[in-house]
Amino acid sequence: MYQAPRGTADILPQEQAYWRYVEEKAARICQLYGYERIDFPAFEDAGLFHRSVGEGTDVVDKEMYTFEDRGGSHLALVPEGTASVCRAYVQHGLHNLQQPVKLYYFTSVFRYDRPQAGRYRQHHQFGYEAIGDADPALDAEVIDMAWQFYRSLGLTRLALHLNSIGCKACRPNYLTVLKEYYAKQGGQLCPDCNTRAARNTLRLLDCKKQSCQTIAAAAPKSIDFLCADCAEHFNLLQKYLGLLSIPFALNHRLVRGLDYYARTVFEIQPEEEGGQSTLGGGGRYDGLIEELGGNPTPAIGMATGMERIIINLKKYNISVPPLPGTRVFLAYLGDEARNEIIKLGSMLRQSGIEVIEAFGSKSLKGQMRHANTLGVRYAVIIGDDEVKNGTAVFRDMTSAQQETVSLARLPELLK
Ligand code: HAM
């Protein structure tokens, strides 16, 4: 028997109400903040991610699904959405529009991760990007939008972690000091951190191993090495978050796993959980558009995992509205009635009424049982007598009351 590949999942009908709920809240929040939808391909030139997410990151080095297609192109299933949105921004000359350009997306994301609760090889993200403005008020708005989005879902016990990792001008100084600090730790780092130490020193700060965490806690902080512009940017962001009454914790170990970030980085987590449970995260990536061949263009965005949101909705017993069901079930007895039902089903659907028809040779009792399990509001039953008289039995499934009505009246009754 075939199984869905490890780390992937089917989303069965009984789960869909959660997905629809989250998607609708996401689309609404985007409308409230002036974002427009963009969709991009499920695969891209693999080079796009080497360029943006970065060589030496886990996402590119260890987790990317790459393949050569039959034409010899080197492609990758998208391991995140930001690079694709920026590629589209440059490709379609979106710098010609009023800036910032605000775009949101839902996408499948593919990462060859070690599957565990809340961690999959194919997951789904809702993300949004605001491209073309460096104002820290935009950073505050992007964070506020995430905060209000989670609130609108009913997720309120959240913690916002915030950091600034500086820009091209000031980060090199910080990295020098950080490297010196780590060089002094000798053999105490885990093997992963030892290999990362030279290539991606920032990532040592967010190693999950307990021994490395102790070392990271005492490490120099990026915010102490910010240039004047970055420091002012970060101060203003904190002031604006204050104006918005959004509580945050400065977390100097928050660096994020993707290379394109500059200045603001943030993550939102459920209050009482650890690192694996991050609901969403993002930050500024002021150099990325230029890296991809566009003009120098500041930008910021964020993405959140749909599966992790749904896990939290369930954990906190947040009920979601059921999806609209089917209004009517059509049951029949006999061949003539069968013909009537086929015509009636088509007619009702064309008047905008949702219909499920009985098929096969089930008894009337069996058909009614079927209607009951479907949870339909009404059933329409046609037998030989009804065929002769041009009528149908119209049954309210909740009250179990029924009456005989003319076929012509049915659309009006059902509406
Ligand atoms: P990310 O932090 O890599 O950021 O992913 C965003 C969110 O996707 C995470 O916070 C988490 O909820 C979810 N997620 C990540 N990996 C998995 C996984 N293996 N299984 C389930 N859920 C997962 C980005 O992807 C950036 N593009 C965010 C961004 C947008 N930054 C700027 N703009």
Tens digits of residue pLDDT in 279-324: 999 999 999 999 999 999 999 999 999 999 999 999 999 999 999 9
Q: How confident is the model at residue 274 (pLDDT cuts 50, 70, 90)?
A: low
Number of H helices, E strands in the chain: 15, 16
Q: What residues have CB less than 8 Å from 254, skipping those under 6 apart?
A: 161, 162, 163, 205, 206, 265, 266, 267
| CA 284 to ligand 1: nearest atom | 32
User: Across residues 398-405, what is the average pLDDT?
Assistant: 96
At residue 34, the pLDDT reads 98
The CATH architecture annotation of domain 13-170+226-315 reads 2-Layer Sandwich (3.30)
Q: 305 in ligand 1 pocket by Cβ < 6 Å?
A: yes
Residues 321, 16: Cα–Cα separation, whole Å: 11
Complete edge-to-edge strand list for the sheet that includes strand 280-284: 36-37, 101-110, 122-131, 299-305, 280-284, 264-270, 158-164, 249-250
Q: How confident is the model at residue 195 (pLDDT cuts 50, 70, 90)?
A: confident
Q: How confident is the model at residue 188 (pLDDT cuts 50, 70, 90)?
A: confident
Tell me which fold the domain 328-414 belongs to: Rossmann fold (3.40.50)
At residue 56, the pLDDT reads 83
Percent of the chain with pLDDT over 90: 90
Q: Where are the domains of the chain?
A: 13-170+226-315, 328-414
Q: How confident is the model at residue 89 (pLDDT cuts 50, 70, 90)?
A: very high
Ligand 1: residue of 141, 278, 279 to mutate (most ligand atoms within 8 A of CB) is 278
Tens digits of residue pLDDT in 345-380: 999 999 999 999 999 999 999 999 999 999 999 999
Compute, in angstroms, the gap from residue 289 CA to the centroid of ligand 1: 20
| CA 121 to ligand 1: nearest atom | 19
Q: How confident is the model at residue 276 (pLDDT cuts 50, 70, 90)?
A: low
pTM: 0.95
Ligand 1: residue of 60, 125, 158 to mutate (most ligand atoms within 8 A of CB) is 125
At residue 350, the pLDDT reads 94
Q: Reply yes or no on whether the pLDDT at 388 is more than 60.
A: yes
User: Across residues 68-90, what is the average pLDDT?
Assistant: 98
At residue 198, the pLDDT reads 78
Sign of the torsion formed by the C-alpha atoms of 307, 311, 314 and 318: negative
Q: Reply yes or no on whether the pLDDT at 49 is more than 90.
A: yes
Mean pLDDT over each residue of the chain, to the nearest integer? 95
**Helices in 297-409 by DSSP H: which ranges?**
306-315, 335-350, 364-374, 384-389
Ligand 1: residue of 165, 206, 308 to mutate (most ligand atoms within 8 A of CB) is 308
Cα–Cα–Cα angle for 212, 217, 218, rounded to 5 degrees: 105
Q: Reply yes or no on whether the pLDDT at 275 is more than 60.
A: no
Q: How confident is the model at residue 193 (pLDDT cuts 50, 70, 90)?
A: confident
Q: 308 in ligand 1 pocket by Cβ < 6 Å?
A: yes
At residue 273, the pLDDT reads 66
User: Across residues 383-395, what is the average pLDDT?
Assistant: 96
Collapse the DSSP code of 217 into the 3-class scheme (helix H, G, I; strand E, B; otherwise coil) and give the result. helix
Sequential DSSP letters for 361-381: T--HHHHHHHHHHHT-SEEEE
User: Across residues 73-96, what is the average pLDDT?
Assistant: 98
Compute, in angstroms, the gap from residue 364 CA to the centroid of ligand 1: 52
Compute, in angstroms, the gap from residue 346 CA to the centroid of ligand 1: 45
Q: How confident is the model at residue 186 (pLDDT cuts 50, 70, 90)?
A: confident
Which residue(s) pair with 404 in the sheet?
Answer: 393
